[in-house]
Every structure is written in C-alpha cells, then in structure tokens.
C-alpha cells in the first residue's frame, strides 16, 4: 500500500481541483460577501499547491531526517517486513470490510451474531488458534453487549440471539 510521492502528489492535485470545481458551482448566498464556494476553493487550491510540491519531492528531506531520528532513538529496530504474496497487502482491508458487514447485517441477524462473526474472522486472520478464536467470538460480543446495552442503554438490535438482559 506504499505509494510513491509521484502518485500521491498528482492525486492531491486532482482532489484539490475537484474540490475547487465543486465549490465554485455552489450558489452565492444573499447578504454574504464570502459565499459557501470560497472555502472549498481556497482549500482546493491549497491541496493543488501541496500536491505539486509533493510530486516535486519538496520536503522529502524532513521525512528522511525524522526517520533517521526515530531509528536512532528506537531501541529494537523495527522488524523487516516478511516476504509475502502479492495479495498479502489486501488483508488490511478485512477490518473495514467487517465494519461494512456490520452495517448491513446488524439489523437483520442482531448484534451478538454479527459481532461473533466479526471477532472470529478478525482473530483467525491475525493468526489465532481455534482454541483462542472460538471462545473470543463467543464471549467478546456478550461482554460488549452487556456494557453497551445494559449499562449504557444503547439500543443494539437483538436479532437471532436475544440475551437475557
């Protein structure tokens, strides 16, 4: 997921340009010299400028110095990233995917069932044994449910597995 500055810079330029364009199409408001269009345009212009500087590599030196400082003060040097397949990086998308799953599932199958699936998947991906993952998936949702539903009165949907409180 590490992208070169030659990529993020132009991306920021595009984002800034879009923001400025989107902002410029907002209608003015009677009685306000500075309408809703100005702020997005200023921010967009700033982003374009930053994008250009980043693409040109201005300020890289600060990062290198910071990394050197950090390395000098860090006791154990950060471990070398192990060699993995080319799809390994996509595992990072599992947590947000589980949150999206929560969004769609929680009203249908209830909180406990949804949370159990999330906990199980997350634990297994992180390399937990079944002996750790299964009890975790069973107990963590109940604990969280107790804390939020019972003590904090957050209306979590009951769904498939209603709890006795």
Partner 1 sequence: MDTLAEAIRLVAAPDVLIAILLSSIYGLVIGSLPGLSATMATALLVPVTFYLSPIAAVATIISASAMAIFSGDIPGALLRIPGTPASAAYTDEAYAMTRKGQAELALGAGLWFSAIGGIVGTISLIVMAPALAEMALQFSTFEYFWLAFLGLMCATLVARSSPVKAIASMLIGLLIACIGIENPAGTPRFTFGITDLLGGVEVIPALVGMFAVSEVMRAMVTPDPPPMPRRKFGSILKGQWELTKKYVAPQVRGNIVGIIIGVLPGAGADMAAWVSYAMSKRFSKEPEKFGTGHPEGLVEAGASNNASLASGWVPSLLFGIPGDTITAIAIGVLYMKGLNPGPTLFTERASSMYALYIIFILANILMIPLGILMIRAASHILRAPRAAVMPVILLCCAVGPFATGNNLFAVMSVAFFGVLGFVLERNGYPVAALVLGIVMGSMVEQNFVTSLIKSDGSLLPFFDRPVAAVLAAMTIACLVWPIGVWAHRRFFRRQASVAPAG
Partner 2 sequence: MAAFTRRGFIAVGAAAAGAGLRIGPAGAQGAYPSRPITMICPWGAGGGTDATARIVASLLEKELGQPVNVVNRTGGSGVVGHSAIATAPADGYTLGIITVEISMMHWQGLTDLTPASYTPLALMNEDPPGVQVPASAPYKNVKELADAIKAAPPGKMKASGTGQGGIWHLALVGWLQAMGLKPDHVAWVPSNGAAPAMQDLAAGGLDIVTCSVPEARAMIEAGKAKALAVMASERNPAFPNVPTLNEELGINYSTGAWRGFAGPKGLPQDIATKLTAALKKINESKEFRDFMAARGFGVKWADAQGFADFMAAGDKQMGEAMKAAGLAKA
The binding site for partner 2 (CB under 8 A) comprises 29-32, 150, 153, 155, 162, 164-165
- Least separation in angstroms between residue 158's CB and partner 1 is 14
For residue 159, the partner it binds in partner 1, partner 2, none, with Cβ less than 5 to 8 A by kind, is none
For residue 150, the partner it binds in partner 2, partner 1, none, with Cβ less than 5 to 8 A by kind, is partner 2
Say if CB 117 and CB 101 are below 8 A apart. Answer: yes
What tokens were used for 48? 């374009």
Binding status of residue 85 toward partner 1 by CB under 8 A: no
Distance set, CA 43 to CA 14, 32, 49, 59, 102 (Å)? 13, 19, 10, 20, 34
Query: Per CB under 8 A, which of residues 118..137 are in contact with partner 1?
Result: 118-120, 122-123, 125-128, 132-133, 136-137
Q: Which residue blocks in 27-110 are alpha helix, DSSP H?
A: 38-55, 60-73, 94-109
Query: Per CB under 8 A, which of residues 5..44 are in contact with partner 1?
Result: 5, 8, 12, 15-16, 19, 22-23, 26-27, 29, 31-36, 38-40, 43-44
- Least separation in angstroms between residue 152's CB and partner 1 is 5
Number of alpha carbons in the 13 Å side-chain half-sphere of residue 9: 15
- Least separation in angstroms between residue 164's CB and partner 1 is 19
Q: Which is nearer to partner 1, 100 or 160 (CB)?
A: 100
For residue 156, the partner it binds in partner 2, partner 1, none, with Cβ less than 5 to 8 A by kind, is partner 1
- The residues near 136 (Cβ < 8 Å, ≥ 6 apart) are 119, 120, 123, 128
- Least separation in angstroms between residue 46's CB and partner 1 is 5
Out of 6, 21, 24, 69, point to the residue binding partner 1 (CB under 8 A).
Answer: 69
Say if CB 40 and CB 33 are below 8 A apart. Answer: no
State how far the Cα of 27 lies from the Cα of 29, in Å rounded to an integer: 7
Residue count of the chain: 165
């Amino acid at each position: 997921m590490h992208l070169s500055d030659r990529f993020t810079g132009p991306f920021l330029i595009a984002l800034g340009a879009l923001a400025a364009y989107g902002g410029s199409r907002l209608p003015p408001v009677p009685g306000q010299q500075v309408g809703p269009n100005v702020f997005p345009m200023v921010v967009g212009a700033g982003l374009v400028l930053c994008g250009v500087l980043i693409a040109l590599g201005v300020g890289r030196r600060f990062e290198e110095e910071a990394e050197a400082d950090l390395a000098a003060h860090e006791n154990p040097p950060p471990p070398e990233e192990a060699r993995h397949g080319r799809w390994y990086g996509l595992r990072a998308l599992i947590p947000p995917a589980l949150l999206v799953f929560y969004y769609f599932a929680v009203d249908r199958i209830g909180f406990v069932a949804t949370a159990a699936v999330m906990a199980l998947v997350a634990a297994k991906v992180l390399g937990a044994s079944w002996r750790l993952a299964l009890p975790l998936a069973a107990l963590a949702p109940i604990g969280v449910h107790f804390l939020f539903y019972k003590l904090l009165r957050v209306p979590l949907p009951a769904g498939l597995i209603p709890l006795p409180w």
